[in-house]
Structure 1
Amino acid sequence: MSLTADLRAALADEPVAVVLELGTLVVCVLLFVGTFVAFSSGPPTGRGGPWLAVVVVGAAVVLLWTAVIPAFDRLR
């Protein structure tokens, strides 16, 4: 089967899981780009800016996958 056929089959079986995983992949790619944007702005100066955004979004992704999703799976 091709990649698109596999993705369609997974989406039909577990739509929420596929959307979460693909969404996380997109966020991680954006975090990678955001890290380079933060590097180009220089070291953090105390006002936040791109460094704060990278840290907050990264922490949200970690919290989602280490706390929220396992709790949801356990309660389901």
Structure 2
Amino acid sequence: MLRLTPSLGTEGLRIEVDDAAPGFPDFDAALAGAFASCGLWWVNHYRAQMSGDEKKDGDGRVIAKTVKALVPLSWAKETA
């Protein structure tokens, strides 16, 4: 699921993507550009605040994840 939400208090756009694949063991490496095909690097490169959350079942097993980005509106103005 993809959610786009204006974040008025921070003057940014919040992007959240739910992914049914459990975990993201190389999240930091993806942000650093280790995977050429990964779009996370581009979002991070343009000054977005990035984070990731794991979703767990009742037994504590990771069953999905959410990747979040807060993209500053100043970036959108600079690239327009």
Alignment TM class, shorter chain as reference? under 0.3
Q: Higher helix fraction: Structure 1 or Structure 2?
A: 1
Q: Higher strand fraction: Structure 1 or Structure 2?
A: 2
Query: Highest CA radius of gyration, 1 or 2?
Result: 1
- After TM superposition, the score normalised by the length of structure 1 is 0.23
